[in-house]
Amino acid sequence: MAMKSYRPITPARRWMTNLDSKDITSKPTVRALLKNLPRSAGRNSNGRITSRHREAGAKKLYRIIDFKRNKFNVEGTVATIEYDPYRNCRICLVKYTDGDRRYVLQPKGLTVGTKIMSAESGLDIKTGNAMKLKAIPIGTLVHNIEMSPGHGGQMARSAGAYAQIMGRDGKYVSLRLPSGEMRYVLGECLATIGTIGNEEIANEVVGKAGRSRHRGIRPQTRGSAMNPIDHPHGGGEGKTNSGRHPVSPWGTPAKGFKTRRKQASDKLIISRKKKK
């Protein structure tokens, strides 16, 4: 998939790039798989802003994705490749032989007309097929990985993401995640073979503030440009640094401070992600 640039007829257009959409074959046709999600614009049930720099953005419909891939032993055919405004990868509409239709994430190389299937074991190691981790050979690249059996895929779901099966230890399978973290996952969990497509999205240049506003991202103000009452970095004559390590508006250190909460699944982590 190629990046598309534009003639510099305006200052914003000069640097703007976008992904070529020639791979998209259809607009949404199954109304039952579309849903209108309420947009909170970063506000909680009391109307207070709890996540800053967010707004509603452009109107869009949510596509109901089959993350569970629990339609076992029924062959499906990829009918269309579609755009999804809620994620950075493409999605596929799969038509099954029993008449059911579902959206799945598009792995790299999956095209219209390809046959895919889900099963507990025994399938070919082919892009788009889904099986339990214990049935997939060591070294295989997978995506849309469950953390608990039956809960649906939660890991390696964004454009270009994948995890690699590194080994087995009893009922667990060890995975190397996109972050470099090594983690145990139960072999009963499902995963889809292949890597997520559309990895060129990382090279996209927004080009103008309006595109960010369409995506629901509001402007940010530097803390050093504020008054001392509004931010710990504020105040001073002219452009000055704060004289302290970077912190959030509420004083939480912004660099090197661990904010990850302890979870029951932490015991399954073999090694943390690599430091840059």
Rounded distance between C-alpha atoms, residue 104 and residue 93, angstroms: 7
Give tens-digit pLDDT for 140-193.
999 999 999 999 999 999 999 999 999 999 999 999 999 999 999 999 999 999
pLDDT above 90 covers a percentage of the chain that reads 78
Element (H, E) at 12: helix 11-15
* C-alpha count within 13 angstroms, C-beta hemisphere, residue 37: 15
Q: What is the pLDDT of residue 1?
A: 65
Residue position matching structure tokens 């943390």: 272
Q: Which long-range contacts (CB under 8 A, 24 or more apart) does 183-187 make?
A: 183/268, 183/269, 183/270, 184/268, 184/269, 184/270, 185/133, 185/145, 185/146, 185/147, 185/268, 186/133, 186/148, 186/149, 187/132, 187/133, 187/134
Residue 247 is assigned to a structural domain of this protein: no
Q: With 70 as the cut, is the pLDDT of residue 93 above it?
A: yes
When the pLDDT of each residue in the chain is averaged and rounded to a whole number, the result is 92
Residue 160 is assigned to a structural domain of this protein: yes
Q: What is the pLDDT of residue 275?
A: 61
Tokens of 67: 């993350």
Residue 168 is assigned to a structural domain of this protein: yes
Residue 223 is assigned to a structural domain of this protein: no
Tokens of 94: 């799969």
pTM for the whole thing? 0.88
Give tens-digit pLDDT for 18-61.
988 888 999 999 999 999 999 899 999 999 999 999 999 999 99
| Count helices and strands in the chain by DSSP H and E runs | 2, 17
Strand pairing partners for 155?
A: 145
Residue 256 is assigned to a structural domain of this protein: no
Please give the residue range of the domain that contains residue 118: 14-39+58-200+263-271
Domain count, the chain: 1
Rg (the chain; Cα; Å):
22
Residue 249 is assigned to a structural domain of this protein: no
Confidence tier at 273 by pLDDT (50, 70, 90) = confident
Residue 175 is assigned to a structural domain of this protein: yes
Spatial strand order of the sheet with 182-186 comes to 130-132, 190-193, 141-143, 163-169, 172-176, 182-186, 269-271
Here the CATH number for the domain that contains residue 167 is 2.30.30.30
Contact 183, 270 (CB under 8 A): yes
Q: What is the pLDDT of residue 243?
A: 85
Residue 75 is assigned to a structural domain of this protein: yes
